[in-house]
Amino acid sequence: MSFMYPLGLLGLIGIPVIILIYILQSKYTEQTVNSNYLWHLSDKFMKRKNPLSGISGIISLILQILMVIIITMILSRPIFTLPNAAKNYCFVLDASSSMNMQEGKETRFEKAKDEIEKVIKSSKNGSTYSLVYVSNDESVRAFDDVDNKKTAIELLKEVDPTHTSTSEVSLLNTAQGIFDKSSSSLVYLVTDKSYKTHENIEIIDVGNENAENYAVFDVEYSHSGGRLKIDAKAISYTKDNTLEIKVYIDDREVKTSSFNVKAGEPTPVSFDVPSSAFSKFKVEVANKDGYLLDNSIEIYNLKSDKTYSVLIVSDSGFFFKAAIDALIDSDIKVVSPDEYEEITDKYGLYIFDSFTPSALPNGVVWLINSDRSIENSGFGVRGKMEVTPADTIKKSTSTATNVRQLLKGVGDSEIYITDYVKYSGMYLNFHTLYSYDSNPVIFAGANGLGNRQVVFGFDLHKSDFALSTDFVMLLRNLLEYSFPDVIEETNYIVGEDALVNILKNAENLKAVSPSGRDIYIETDGATATLSLTEIGTYVISMKLAGNEMNYQIYSGANELESRPTIEEEDFSLTGEKTDANIDGEYDPMMLFFVCLAILFIADWGVYCYEKYQLR
């Protein structure tokens, strides 16, 4: 036996104090009677009737001493050791997305935690408890070797389910690692997967093979001619049913259709709806089931929500404004060179047409026919060169990736110029797209400020290039180069990593998860990855050249997690199980309180008996 609070034993000092009080207290009480005869007669009668009346004080003393001892035990909290009565409990909890499936009034995950709590409560005091939850093929220790039931249960309640999948291999490897570390531990696997056989492990199955679930997946679409065509697959996992499937465009319901599906068989569903433009659409199964996470899929149009701010500095800016307006959704402002000095707002793209600013702005820059050197431009100006008679410029034949991307779809039209600006001292990170007499006349790259920059070394108004179809294709490529996509895909499966392109000078780059959690993205490299651990829409936001830009990514449910149950053949841990238990503990606090109550009632009974019955 050990004491949790040994100083509580000082309470035993109360025993001699009670004895001393008992010795010193008066044994006589003053009573008034109307006749000595009646008094003596009553006294003789009571003595014959109650032979123990003379020792009632001793009984009360003994009861009070026992109460002091019990109170002292309660204060000192004795713990009795029970040899080899306790065990080490290790729980492997399946925290995959399917554990979110509703079973009655609670989810499978809540039921799993209830089952673990029952095991903890029924175990002997002195046992230790460890919990590892497994999700997305990773194992996380929630707590380890906790030797207090209440603490273990409180930590258990803090564990939440995830939205990713968990493979049987991950569960088995995690459980095997625990067993290898301590073969005497009692290992529990708590999951919604069922196993026909198991060895060296206890299985707690919280699944239900009859749970109904519907899902939609494999959504594909095409958008042309003002029509949106959608193809998808729908499934009912446990029984034949008629599924009502709805289509929403930009949160507006546009169509509802019913489809007959057979149990466990994916059924193709198709929709053809009018839509001139859209930023997103959603396909949703309206039938309610126990697992809502796979009932809908949202598709985002990557190009629809991108609005670009463009400043054109030119005496005749209508030409560029009309061309850019036709290619992208943009907010364009045209100012004269004299007005430019008054501009304080920031823009994503600055186009200087036959005007050279005194300093480069902090943003993407297009310099058209710039004939004066600028600090940080990345090149020098040697002067204006005449082309007499007018001659054609030559398209680059380089196989470099950046050059091929910028010239994608551009043909071999003859482009005539009458003069050009000869540049020198160019940075190596510029890519020449067109040249004349080996001198670059159209090139792109990064300037000294780290911003993307495009340079036309001739006046477009004095060339026939702007009238050719190749100019439109080149302009489209240059706009894509100037405003690169932060994301290249908008739809993923939960558990995957989304690729995020890091734009130069991007600020406050972060993602907001479907649950509202902020995820800050590292901007050190050219790309970064975003781990998608929740089902729903992630919003990636950033600030670039003073403009707020937002991108949406939808993380859909894993099809494997949608099945009501998965049956496996075997889940056995290799090795020889040992029966080495650990010493348990017995905490007699409740017994002490019961005994204290009994002693108190008994002492009160003796007091009442002595006071009211002996007289």
User: Is 44 a residue whose pLDDT tops 60?
Assistant: no
For residue 311, the model assigns a pLDDT of 92
- 558, part of any domain: no
Q: 6 and 147: one domain? A: no
Using alpha carbons only, what angle is made at residue 371 by residues 366 and 375, rounded to the nearest 5 degrees?
Answer: 70
Q: Which domain holds residue 381?
A: 308-482
Q: 333 and 432: one domain? A: yes
- 444, part of any domain: yes
Strand-pair partners of 80: 586
- Walk across the sheet containing 78-86 and list its strands: 2-3, 78-86, 582-586
| 3 state SS of 109 | helix
User: Is 82 a residue whose pLDDT tops 80?
Assistant: no
Q: 404 and 317: one domain? A: yes
Mean pLDDT of the region 41-68: 67
- 555, part of any domain: no
Q: 197 and 234: one domain? A: no
Compute the mean pLDDT over every residue in the chain, rounded to the nearest whole number.
85
- 559, part of any domain: no
- 556, part of any domain: no
| 3 state SS of 248 | strand
CATH of the domain at 180: 3.40.50.410
pLDDT per position as a tens digit, 504-536: 667 788 999 999 999 998 877 778 889 999 999
**Rounded Cα distance, 285 and 267, in Å:** 13
The residue among 458, 482, 506 that closes a domain is 482
Q: 196 and 117: one domain? A: yes
Mean pLDDT of the region 139-147: 90
Buried b (16+ CB within 10 A) or exposed e, 431-442: bbbbbbeebbbb
- 240, part of any domain: yes
For residue 613, the model assigns a pLDDT of 57
Q: Which percentage of the chain shows pLDDT scores above 70?
A: 88
- 328, part of any domain: yes
Q: 456 and 316: one domain? A: yes
User: Is 344 a residue whose pLDDT tops 70?
Assistant: yes
For residue 614, the model assigns a pLDDT of 47
Of the ranges 267-276, 319-328, 507-516, which one carries the lowest mean pLDDT score?
319-328
**Rounded Cα distance, 303 and 485, in Å:** 9
Q: 28 and 91: one domain? A: no
| 3 state SS of 570 | strand
The residue among 482, 512, 539 that closes a domain is 482
Q: 595 and 531: one domain? A: no
CATH of the domain at 453: 3.40.50.880
pLDDT per position as a tens digit, 473-482: 999 999 988 8
Q: 554 φ, ψ to 5°?
A: -105, 125
Q: 262 and 368: one domain? A: no
**Rounded Cα distance, 162 and 293, in Å:** 12
pLDDT per position as a tens digit, 454-494: 999 999 988 989 888 899 999 999 998 888 778 888 999 99
For residue 296, the model assigns a pLDDT of 94
**Rounded Cα distance, 127 and 115, in Å:** 17
Q: What is the 3-state secondary structure (H, E, C) of 407-468?
A: CCCCCCCCEEEEEEEEEECCCCCCEEEEEECCEEEEEEEECCCCCEEEEECCCHHHCCHHHC
pLDDT per position as a tens digit, 229-254: 999 999 999 899 999 999 999 999 99
| Domain total in the chain | 5
For residue 560, the model assigns a pLDDT of 86
Around Cβ 189, how many Cβ atoms within 10 Å? 24
- 414, part of any domain: yes
Mean pLDDT of the region 408-436: 89
H helix and E strand count, the chain: 11, 35
The residue among 279, 300, 321 that closes a domain is 300
Q: 284 and 323: one domain? A: no
For residue 426, the model assigns a pLDDT of 75
Q: 145 and 194: one domain? A: yes
**Rounded Cα distance, 252 and 249, in Å:** 5
**Rounded Cα distance, 372 and 421, in Å:** 9
User: Is 351 a residue whose pLDDT tops 70?
Assistant: yes
**Rounded Cα distance, 418 and 387, in Å:** 5
- DSSP-derived secondary structure for 45-84: HHHHH-TTGGGHHHHHHHHHHHHHHHHHHHHH-EEEEEEE
For residue 427, the model assigns a pLDDT of 67
Q: 179 and 107: one domain? A: yes
For residue 579, the model assigns a pLDDT of 76
